[in-house]
Amino acid sequence: AQTVTQSQPEMSVQEAETVTLSCTYDTSESDYYLFWYKQPPSRQMILVIRQEAYKQQNATENRFSVNFQKAAKSFSLKISDSQLGDAAMYFCAYRPPVYNQGGKLIFGQGTELSVKP
């Protein structure tokens, strides 16, 4: 079964500093997609960044970047220059190919990030 594990229930970072959130997953597929979602108190699920497994280059979106280690099945999120608005719950998610269960998203348990001013 495909699973996603986030081993850090809570993390804290000082404003303007850098923080890394960890995620590991388990799959037998070679082609898949990985995502990080942000859920602020408004509860809206916001896509932060995505990575295709066939791409070796790590994805980057402004202050957000990932470290994708396919062999290790690891997908960490780095937030640089942390801002107060980054405080939220962060979910790592795995998406298999469409032929596998419709490509449904499988989520980790989440990491609650707090940002200290």
Partner 1 sequence: DAGVIQSPRHEVTEMGQEVTLRCKPISGHDYLFWYRQTMMRGLELLIYFNNNVPIDDSGMPEDRFSAKMPNASFSTLKIQPSEPRDSAVYFCASRDRGPYGYTFGSGTRLTVV
Find the binder of partner 1 among 11, 20, 22, 52 (CB under 8 A): 52
Considering only the C-alpha atoms of the chain, give the largest distance between any 2 of them, rounded to a whole number of Å: 46
* Stretch of residues binding partner 1 (CB under 8 A), selected from 14-22, 47-55, 56-64, 70-78: 47-55
* Stretch of residues binding partner 1 (CB under 8 A), selected from 11-19, 22-30, 43-51, 55-63: 43-51
Q: Which is nearer to partner 1, 16 or 103 (CB)?
A: 103
State the Cα–Cα distance between residues 33 and 47, nearest whole angstrom: 13
Q: Which is nearer to partner 1, 87 or 95 (CB)?
A: 95
**DSSP codes joined into one string, 51-98:** EETT--SPPEETTEEEEEETTTTEEEEEE-S--GGG-EEEEEEEE--T
CB of 47 to partner 1, least distance (A): 7
Find the binder of partner 1 among 36, 82, 86, 108 (CB under 8 A): 108
State the Cα–Cα distance between residues 4 and 29, nearest whole angstrom: 14
What SS3 state is found at 101? Answer: helix
112 binds partner 1 (CB under 8 A): no
What would the two tokens of residue 9 be? 């229930």
33 binds partner 1 (CB under 8 A): yes
